[in-house]
């Protein structure tokens, strides 16, 4: 069974760093792009960026370029989303999802990681 399992909820203070994870199972990790999507409380979906674990090629939405870093580790079939310095406005649910090429849609999603940033 194809699964994307995300790390647990986080509560952080403004200015702190954070790295959340998305562990993949049930298919060859390096063969599919993984994307990250933000959903702020009560709001819609926003595409943040994607990574191809095979060669670590990344693409970012301009809205998130420079604000977050997407990475992947083939040795443990895990993708990551990280912040160097969190802001209160980063409070949101973050989903990882598998990208289907060439359709450019996301067919399998993780359960989400809730990130709360508060002083």
Partner 1 sequence: DIQMTQSPSSVSASVGDRVTITCRASQGISSWLAWYQQKPGKAPKLLIYDASSLQSGVPSRFSGSGSGTDFTLTISSLQPEDFATYYCQQANSFPLTFGGGTKVEIK
Instruction: Catalog residues that contact partner 1 under the rule CB under 8 A.
Output: 35, 37, 44-47, 59, 61-63, 95, 97, 100, 103-107, 109-112
In the bound state with partner 1, the residue whose beta carbon lies nearer, of 88 and 105, is: 105
Q: Where are the beta strands (DSSP E) in 32-100?
A: 34-39, 45-52, 57-60, 69-73, 78-83, 92-100
Question: Least distance from C-beta 75 to partner 1, angstroms?
Answer: 26
Considering the complex, state which of residue 16 and residue 104 has its C-beta at the smaller distance from partner 1: 104
Minimum distance of partner 1 from residue 20's CB (angstroms): 14
Choice between 5 and 17, CB closer to partner 1: 5
Record the tokens describing residue 109, joined without a space: 């999603």
Q: How far is the CB of 28 from partner 1 (least distance, A)?
A: 19
Q: Which of 37, 36, 3, 6 is nearest to 21 (CA)?
A: 6
Contact assessment for residue 21 and residue 7, using Cβ atoms and an 8 Å cutoff:
yes
If you search the block for the tokens 């990475």, which residue do you land on? Answer: 71
């Amino acid at each position: 069974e194809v699964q994307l399992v995300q790390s647990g909820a986080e509560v952080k203070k403004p200015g702190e760093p954070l790295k959340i994870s998305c562990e993949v199972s049930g298919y060859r990790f390096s063969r599919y792009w993984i994307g990250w999507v933000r959903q702020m409380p009560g709001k819609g979906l926003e595409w943040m960026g994607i990574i191809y674990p095979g060669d670590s090629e990344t693409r970012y939405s301009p809205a998130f370029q420079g604000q977050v870093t997407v990475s992947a580790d083939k040795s443990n079939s895990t993708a990551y989303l990280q912040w160097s310095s969190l802001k209160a406005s980063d409070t949101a649910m973050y989903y990882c999802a598998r990208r289907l090429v060439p359709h450019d849609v996301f067919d399998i999603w993780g359960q989400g990681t809730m990130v709360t940033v508060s002083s």
